[in-house]
Structure 1
Amino acid sequence: MHAFPCGTLPLDFVGTLRARRNAAPAEKLASPEQLDAWFVEAGVLDTAPGADETDVEIAVDLRESIYALVAARLDGRPLPSRAVAGVNRHAAGLPVTVRLHAGGASRTGSVAQGLAALARETVEILGGDEAALLRECARPECTQVYLDRSRGHRREWCAMKTCGNRVKAASFRARQHGAAAPRV
């Protein structure tokens, strides 16, 4: 199962490499099956696109290009040209096929089409006003990025139910531990 704390698919896609600053980050796209599952769980596609090892390499490369662009925006640096070219190349790809039928609608396509959808949304975010809303989770162990659409733009964590809860619980335990210590 994949996590989608951001509500923004390209940023959730970046989060498939968890704790990226750790010595051994957790790779959530280590196999074609995991990539297929991500597309379906994210709602990009209704059925698995049938990824192979090459698709995984291409997807990871796009993910890292998106992260490089986001990191540059967060740090106020110029966008890296290699990452810009990679995202633009994917964004120019064919869209996911959307079909209307008696039971509703379906979204189908290849890995390349799913990646094109992510790249196009990345272009919209980084090339528009929402780029100013980019943040990185304040929990030191987390490297998830998100768009802070909160009122007042003071959101600190990628998700309250995970990172926010962990930080608040740790702070509470620290206060309790400090209050229980005898004073000399």
Structure 2
Amino acid sequence: MSTFTDPHLFVSGNLALNFIGTVGERRTNRIERLTTADELGEWVVAAEILDTAPDCADALDRATALREAAWRTMQTVLRGEPLDAADRALLESHARDTLPELTLTADGAVRRGGTIDSALAAIARSAIELLGSPDRDRLKECGRDACTRLYLDTSRGGSRRWCDMAVCGNRAKSKAFRARNTEPAQ
């Protein structure tokens, strides 16, 4: 079972949103889930961008800058405001890099190879493609007070409230239950 602090929690419905989700509780108790170059490489593999962890020795700062620009851009969209020029430029710059190389093996398996820059290009393109698609209107932020994870609401009625029912939904429902069933102090 995944936990809220698990860096490999892929519940957002979009590669860029999952990458943004490597920081949790941004407004209260910021939880950074990618603190080393090795963790970045592990995330790239877990996200199935590349099959093996690339050399990320000099990439952590660039990756976190991309992630924060994507976060600010998505927040701007949620507020209905114009996109920031510097954040757009950073996303576009990464998106221009070469994408991961896909090859087919003799038995039809897909192999994904490339560098950390190609992985970041895939993430940036995912963000840009989301922003330019009708799915942009399905972008939401988790309804649990402490959680700031973004996700695409693909529910039939567009009524999904939490990034993940097993993590945030259960926490929110438990908190509400406790609040309803706590006896008032005498």
Band of TM-score, shorter chain: over 0.9
Number of aligned residue pairs:
179
Residue by residue, what CA displacement relative to the aligned partner does 1:2-52 show, whole Å, maximum 9, x if unpaired? Answer: 221213111010011111112x41111111001001001111111001211
Superposition pairs for residues 1-184 of structure 1, below 5 Å? Answer: 1-22=7-28, 24-52=29-57, 54-103=58-107, 104-178=109-183
1:86 positional shift: 0.5
SS of 1:146's equivalent in the other structure is strand
CA RMSD of aligned residues (A): 1.5
1:133 positional shift: 0.8
TM-score of the superposed pair, with normalisation by structure 2:
0.92
Residue by residue, what CA displacement relative to the aligned partner does 1:59-101 show, whole Å, maximum 9, x if unpaired? Answer: 0000011001100000111000001001011111101011111
Question: Which stretches of structure 1, 4 residues or more, deviate above 3 A after TM superposition?
Answer: none
Between the aligned residues of both structures, percent identity stands at 39
In structure 2, how many angstroms separate the alpha carbons of the residues matched to 1:40 and 1:163? 25
The structure with the largest alpha-carbon Rg is 1
SS of 1:142's equivalent in the other structure is coil
Gaps of 5+ in 1: none
Of Structure 1 and Structure 2, the greater helix share is in 1
In structure 2, how many angstroms separate the alpha carbons of the residues matched to 1:155 and 1:45? 30
TM-score of the superposed pair, with normalisation by structure 1:
0.93
